[in-house]
Amino acid sequence: MTWKTLSKIEMRNRENDTETFSIQYDGNFYRIQNEFGNISFEFDVSSGYTFAEELNGIITSDIESEINTFLTDQNIQNDNDNYSDNDCCSDVDNARQMSLFNQKNIKYKNIKMPKGLNLSINSDGISTKKNG
């Protein structure tokens, strides 16, 4: 069968160069191939699904870790600016990590995250805005 291109994705490397990769399908298998055709790999639906789930989990975890580290550093800096040497920073001691991509880590029963709710972080804290 002939390969049909389903999507093209530009990927950026360490040197900040971009290369276009095509996601293709021939009716039975999928293929990811670079624009030069010298790099490609083929897989069936089950293998592709497992690969995508694993990659998504790795990247999601990395993004959450970087955001939580950034926000923790910001909170500690803000708390250090607001407390004297004799004050206790109990808010920092009680901080907990939350997942940004699902609701399973939210422990408060009265908090609901409806679809279309935007959360934004600014200097005054977290604000919400409902879409639509």
**Spatial separation of the C-alpha atoms in residues 100 and 62, rounded to whole Å:** 12
Q: Phi/psi zone of residue 103: left (φ > 0), alpha (ψ -120 to 50 degrees), beta? A: alpha
pLDDT at 77: 61
Among 8-12, 54-58, 106-110, 121-125, which stretch is predicted with the lowest mean pLDDT?
106-110
Count CB-CB contacts under 10 A for residue 30.
19
User: How would residue 131 be classed by pLDDT, with cut points 50, 70 and 90?
Assistant: very low
Q: Phi/psi zone of residue 66: left (φ > 0), alpha (ψ -120 to 50 degrees), beta? A: alpha
pLDDT at 99: 57
Please check whether residue 55 is in contact with residue 43, taking contact to mean a CB–CB distance below 8 angstroms: no
**Spatial separation of the C-alpha atoms in residues 83 and 76, rounded to whole Å:** 10
pLDDT at 70: 85
Quote the Cα angle for 40-43-49, to 5°: 120
| More confident site: 40 or 93 | 40
Among 86-90, 107-111, 115-119, which stretch is predicted with the lowest mean pLDDT?
107-111
Instruction: Give the pLDDT confidence of 30-88 residue by residue, as tens digits.
Output: 999 999 999 999 999 999 999 999 999 999 999 999 988 888 877 666 655 555 555 55
